[in-house]
Chains A and B, each alone.
Chain A
């Protein structure tokens, strides 16, 4: 089946089997390997992508369901060679160790701070509760997302 998905702002067309999962379209057909496969059972959130701006688990959606829609992956965070505030904040606040969960955490963080420009600890922990990290203990992930929110709020008041 022929599908067209806008991935990170570019229209991508592919001929796929209906049973192909969105995560495999991203990784294997389009070569966007920043989206990870962790548990493959809808538990860990390593495969998180944004579907029309909303975080979803791309291992639990068929690629054909994304036909005509917009998907954002971690590769889409970089804008004109500049790190997205959430990427800069993860670097600054040591929000990662091994990095496996990081693309998912950053995408959830991006979606959160767009809706809630000043999230509390509780708000962040609630938002990332579908994403598992086995290294950090979450402390710095929470700080990083809050730092990104502050950076973004600062940028919008100075602009």
Chain B
């Protein structure tokens, strides 16, 4: 399958890329290409201009600044999966990365590209919602930081303006005891998630402080299960509390029936995964 014709631009610097995005009509950013190229081949997307950011230096680092992790937009999924920095700082990210797509796709696909693509079945959106992350959006005249919940607007739609480039993801890492987990149901490796649930908890003196819960594949975008999060704040980590959060998260989901399962089945799996995810996250917080 051949995509439609496009003009190819390969800026060597961030400034050149931002100038290209500001001046070109109908331009898309090419990062890892593992979502964009398939949709271009299927002609769901036919951008007139493609701005390849792969040669821009400085977009592929994982940094720990003490308060959290900063992931460059071009950090590949596999880089996160094998990073000792990530393993030490975020059990949520470390558990999610190896579950994304398949090993070959993970070698090219990038965290920034995945978030900007905003597929509701994408895994990073839920993970970043649960983690309370934000993205750095840059244009020639400056940059802004947008919280994940504001960044994800709708299906394949984000807060990115046409002249902006997502340059980094900022993931806060709490100072105290915290843990997380990503649970994913898929028919086979590499298939879109039937259901995915990301959970992050911060413990405070034996009770749950902040809890973050993100849902994959059960709505028109990755969903932050706000009511479930609220029910856990200040709660004892009990089976009852987990079950209640599971029910509230399931109620916040709006899955549709498709070849991967009925809406009822998916909603039930959200409940199950939230319960299991919380147990696993608390276990990892105590470890």
Contact = CB atoms under 8 A, between A and B. Distances in A.
A126 B103 contact: yes
A65 B54 contact: yes
Contacts of B38: 41-42, 60
A128 to B, nearest CB: 8
Contacts of B8: 1, 18, 62, 64
Interface in B56-105: 101-105
Contacts, number: 76
Interface residues of A, number: 28
A45 B5 contact: no
A60 B6 contact: no
Interface string B25-40: 0000010011001100
- Chain B residues touching A, range: 20 to 34
A1 B8 CA distance: 9
A40 B38 CA distance: 9
B189 A129 contact: yes
Given A48-B104, A129-B102, A62 B190 contact: no
Interface of A: 1, 17-21, 40-43, 45, 48, 51, 54-57, 60-62, 64-65, 108, 126-127, 129-131
28 contacts: A18-B7, A18-B8, A19-B3, A19-B4, A20-B2, A21-B37, A41-B41, A42-B34, A42-B105, A43-B190, A45-B102, A54-B107, A56-B104, A57-B104, A60-B37, A60-B38, A60-B108, A62-B30, A62-B33, A64-B8, A65-B33, A65-B52, A108-B103, A129-B102, A129-B190, A130-B101, A130-B103, A130-B189
Which 6 A-B pairs rank lowest in CB-CB distance, beginning with the nearest?
Answer: A130-B102, A18-B8, A130-B104, A129-B189, A19-B3, A130-B103
